[in-house]
């Protein structure tokens, strides 16, 4: 979105702003009956408190309200992905690679099972990094370049949120179900000469991922996913659940729309 359009939408949006609030306009728009509609957000502190849906010309109430669901949903979904996905995607792969590069010669089944669990975490971390990169490239290099969002963009983002949750589920399941084995793997490595050759950050990471298992279990339960042995079925069920939940959330948001209501 060019600077001129941004300033125009902000100017119109300030008419509905309370003096203690911040204001912003999302950098993408939805076309309704040939007119581009933008979402303006009003904030207090770090919290969003209200919104308005405006176009560069004269607003039509029905068109603006039709623009609300895709604009609000795409914004919420992309924020969710960035806030929850980016921090995890920044985990240094060396935290996994350095321990796994140390040869294991143990007859203890727990040690070997722990190494295999750690290798699975590395595999998931690589997949997760690729997934986040694909989405951020889509958002930064596609959506923000063209400006206009479509139903396909909303659907892609909904699927991405479910995918993100499923990755968190898979990672959490390994940590919860095999944390004792991972601890056995860590204890074995500490006895090896190569342990001292690893950097401190990697040593701390290997120790800390199973240190706060209570928090891991709490976060795992908070995902509130429908579980099924069939991965495809599990994805579909959780996608359908999220779509239904989003519809309820969008309906609830209407009470905080300042314009054109």
DSSP letters for the chain = --HHHHHHHHHHHGGG--TT-EEEEEEEEEEETTEEEEEEEEEETTEEEEEEEEESS---HHHHHHHHHHHHHHHHHHHHHHHHHHHHHTS-THHHHHHHTS------HHHHHHHHHHHHHHHHHHHHHHHHHHHHHHIIIIIHHH-B--HHHHHHHHHHHHHHHHHHHHHHHHHHHSHHHHHHHHHHHHTSGGGGGS-HHHHHHHHHTTTTHHHHHHHHHHT-PPP-SSHHHHHHHHHHHHHHHHHHHHHHHGGGEEE--
**Spatial separation of the C-alpha atoms in residues 95 and 112, rounded to whole Å:** 18
Q: What is the mean pLDDT of the chain?
A: 95
Summarize pLDDT for 97-106 with one digit per residue, the tens. 999 999 999 9
Q: Is the pLDDT of residue 254 over 90?
A: yes
Q: Do 242 and 126 share a structural domain?
A: yes
**Spatial separation of the C-alpha atoms in residues 185 and 116, rounded to whole Å:** 9
Residue 75 lies in a domain: no
- Note the pTM of the prediction, 2 decimals: 0.93
pLDDT of residue 1: 74
Residue 8 lies in a domain: yes
Residue 74 lies in a domain: no
**Which percentage of the chain shows pLDDT scores above 90?**
93
Q: Do 126 and 224 share a structural domain?
A: yes
Residue 107 lies in a domain: yes
Q: Do 52 and 129 share a structural domain?
A: no
pLDDT of residue 46: 85
Q: Is the pLDDT of residue 69 over 90?
A: yes
pLDDT of residue 2: 86
Q: Do 120 and 11 share a structural domain?
A: no
Domain boundary among 64, 80, 99: 64
Q: How confident is the model at residue 193 (pLDDT cuts 50, 70, 90)?
A: very high
Residue 96 lies in a domain: yes
Residue 14 lies in a domain: yes
Residue span of the structural domain in which 48 resides: 3-64
Q: Is the pLDDT of residue 212 over 90?
A: no
Residue 82 lies in a domain: no
Residue 258 lies in a domain: no
Domain count, the chain: 2
With beta carbons less than 8 A apart as the criterion, state whether 9 and 126 touch.
no
Q: Do 125 and 236 share a structural domain?
A: yes
Q: Do 146 and 241 share a structural domain?
A: yes
């Amino acid at each position: 979105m060019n600077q001129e359009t941004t300033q125009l939408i902000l100017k119109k949006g300030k008419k509905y702003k309370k003096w203690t609030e911040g204001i912003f306009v999302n950098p993408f728009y939805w076309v309704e009956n040939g007119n581009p509609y933008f979402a303006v957000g009003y904030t207090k502190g770090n919290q969003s408190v209200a919104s308005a849906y405006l176009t560069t010309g004269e607003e039509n109430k029905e068109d603006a309200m039709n623009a609300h669901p895709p604009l609000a949903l795409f914004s919420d979904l992309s924020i969710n992905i960035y806030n929850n996905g980016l921090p995890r995607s920044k985990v240094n792969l060396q935290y996994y690679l350095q321990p796994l590069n140390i040869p294991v010669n143990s007859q203890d089944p727990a040690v070997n099972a722990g190494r295999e669990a750690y290798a699975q975490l590395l595999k998931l971390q690589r997949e997760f990094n690729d997934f986040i990169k694909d989405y951020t490239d889509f958002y930064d290099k596609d959506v923000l370049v063209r400006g206009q969002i479509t139903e396909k963009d909303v659907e892609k983002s909904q699927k991405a949120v479910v995918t993100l949750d499923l990755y968190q589920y898979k990672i959490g399941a390994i940590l919860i179900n095999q944390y004792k084995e991972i601890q056995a793997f860590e204890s074995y490595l500490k006895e090896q000469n190569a342990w001292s050759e690893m950097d401190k950050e990697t040593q701390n990471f290997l120790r800390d991922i199973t240190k706060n298992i209570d928090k891991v279990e709490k976060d795992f339960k908070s995902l509130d996913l429908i579980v099924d042995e069939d991965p495809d079925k599990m994805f579909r069920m959780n996608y359908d659940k999220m779509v239904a939940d989003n519809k309820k959330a969008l309906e609830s948001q209407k009470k905080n729309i300042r314009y054109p209501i």
